[in-house]
Structure 1
Amino acid sequence: MSKLSFSGHSPLTKTHKYSIAGIATLGAAALAFTLVPGNSTAEAETISAAPVAFEVAAGKPQIKDVHASVTNQMATADQQVKNAAAKLKATQVAATKRAADAAAAKAKVDAAAKAKVEKDRQVREAASRAAARKPVYANNLDGWIRESLDIMKAKGIPGSYNGLHRNIIRESSGNPQAINNWDINAINGIPSKGLLQVIPPTFSAYHVPGTSWNIYDPVANITAAANYAADKYGSMDNVNSAY
């Protein structure tokens, strides 16, 4: 067999080689088609070979698109997770703040209630101490004089137990309901009344605040009379007769 000679011709270029390979491929495909005439299955498989190859080749840019889509979806999902975490954290912070506010409000209410209880206790104790300090006066002449003397002392009205007692016995014999219906005052319509026989105008003018306005009240009668005597005579101790 003689060898083919390509002397005098330039060597095949890369383009020529690709063209020859393409022709060979087409020839093989045509030969395969010729060898199986009437065979629909083989025909379908042979015919579909080229489109499959095309789809695979054409799929390369689609893979890039899918990769980009997946990347975007992952980024979106990651952002959603971050947003959910931030929302959860904000909810927890708000819940913590509400709990702290509620605790502070409760503490304030409890403190106010505790303060009120303490204040009430102090008021009760103060009242109890005051009551304990307040003397208890007997409901008799001795008690009336002693109570009057304490009031007189607080108001700056002079007088002594003896001075009050002496004048009370002379004026009414110690009867707080005594009334003089025969002297000049009675004739003038303003009879003397009470332990120290005080006429109503004098009782009103020299009434001591804090005592009863009833002229027959023993303590009110004594303190008003003592106040009048202090103004006119310096003290009830200086009175030894009708005054």
Structure 2
Amino acid sequence: MPGRGTHRRPKPNALTRGLIAAGTSGVALALPLVSATSAHAAQPTQVAQVTKAAAATTLDVQLLTYKVVAGDTLSKIAQKNPTSGGWKKLYEANRAVIGANPAVLSPGLTLTVGTKTIKSSTASKASTVTPASAKTYTNNLDGWIKHSLDIMAKAGIPGTYNGIYRNVMRESSGNPRAINNWDSNAAAGIPSKGLLQVIDPTFKAYHVPGTAMDPYDPVANITAACNYAAAKYGSIDNVNGAY
């Protein structure tokens, strides 16, 4: 990953985005019509049960990883994993883990060598839905991005799944514990951290209330980075390199 200089330092303007929290999805209740047949008051209406048909095919993006063993080189690993795109792309996708020298691979390193999309079908069934049913997210990159997008939507922060995913893969290969220890920010004592490689001052300035105050927290990191990208570039979708 190329050095970023001071490009991640926050702007002097104070953050003005409103307080947000992860949203819940409401469901409208159908009320039966009751007609009065006399001058007497109508009987209290009964709330009808709401059913939800869940018959959908969902797509989950799963990271393919490889654990380095003694004697491995990027070329050998790329040959074993054709979807990696060759050793150069493999290095770019894992630079945050490998470091500045692509010729040196430490045994035990876990590298991202590609992705695969998994289809999962849910059989149709009727279920009672309560108005306050909470939305849940998977504890992986797909779930972190979707959770962040829901928070961003409530805060008016622009961005799409593809824009976030593309930048995450370039910056950290999907590793929420990634840290840059070699560029100018690291030399200044404020290394870039997390999925979208944000330095601490930028994270604090663009942190979105309602998310964790931890730059390594996946959802907090994505949301703060997208908030920063929106302020500087209009959207994370407009970011195609070091930012």
When the two structures are superposed, what TM-score results if normalisation uses the length of structure 1?
Answer: 0.46
Q: Report which of the two structures shows the higher radius of gyration computed on alpha carbons.
A: 1
Which protein has the bigger helix share? 1
* The structure with more strand, counted as a fraction of residues: 2
Compare relative contact order (CA 8 Å, sep 6+) and give the higher one, 1 or 2.
Answer: 2
